[in-house]
Amino acid sequence: MIIDRILDRKDREHDGEEYIAREFYFDVLGYGQIGDDITMAMDYGTEEDVKRALCSYIDKNDYNPDIKKYINSRMWLTNQRVKPKITFVWNGIKEDGALHKCWYLWHGTEHSGYPIGTITICAKNYRPLPRIDGLVIENDSDIMTDYFDDDRIRVTPDHPYYPQVKAAYDRYNEHYNKVRAR
């Protein structure tokens, strides 16, 4: 199903794999008439035409309408993706407004080879963190030994996102200091 190709792209992006427009096109083409509107838009239309055709496919098949947000946040005719709007907030990371809950840890000493002041962003409840250009997601899960780990991102003081992450960390501490004071 075409919906599977769309969701596969989303999963592969999280795993760090590149989207290849040509592969997506031929996958959709393989579904025959079901994908005709999409392949026609990819052949003769603009990026907006492709997004419109994909969203129409979602509507016609009564799929979760939230998928359209993902469709509209990506480029389908090229191998590029639209950069999501990333905001670091006290209780997580917002990617295009969607909250990915996490907590922050500031390292006052050198830790695991990272400099003093590094902030680790840790996901909550085994939910994945969003892919953010320039930051690496770490996860030491090992299904062979039943060891499961949350995603984490380390932001060093020299990183361009550091001021935003530090401000979120400060708000995180303010919030929890208020909670502890009760």
pLDDT in tens, 4-56: 999 999 888 877 788 888 899 999 999 989 899 999 999 888 999 999 999 99
30: containing domain: 2-72
- Check whether residue 107 and residue 41 sit in a common domain: no
Q: Name the region of 121 (left: φ>0; alpha: ψ -120 to 50; beta: rest).
A: beta
pLDDT in tens, 85-132: 899 999 999 988 889 999 999 988 777 788 999 999 999 988 888 888
Q: How many domains does the chain have?
A: 2
Q: Does the pLDDT at position 150 exceed 70? A: yes
- Check whether residue 59 and residue 109 sit in a common domain: no
pLDDT at 78: 83
User: Which pTM was predicted?
Assistant: 0.56
- Check whether residue 107 and residue 154 sit in a common domain: yes
Residue 114 pairs in a beta bridge with 111
Sheet with 92-95, edge to edge strand ranges: 86-89, 92-95, 98-106, 119-123, 152-155, 137-138
- Check whether residue 115 and residue 149 sit in a common domain: yes
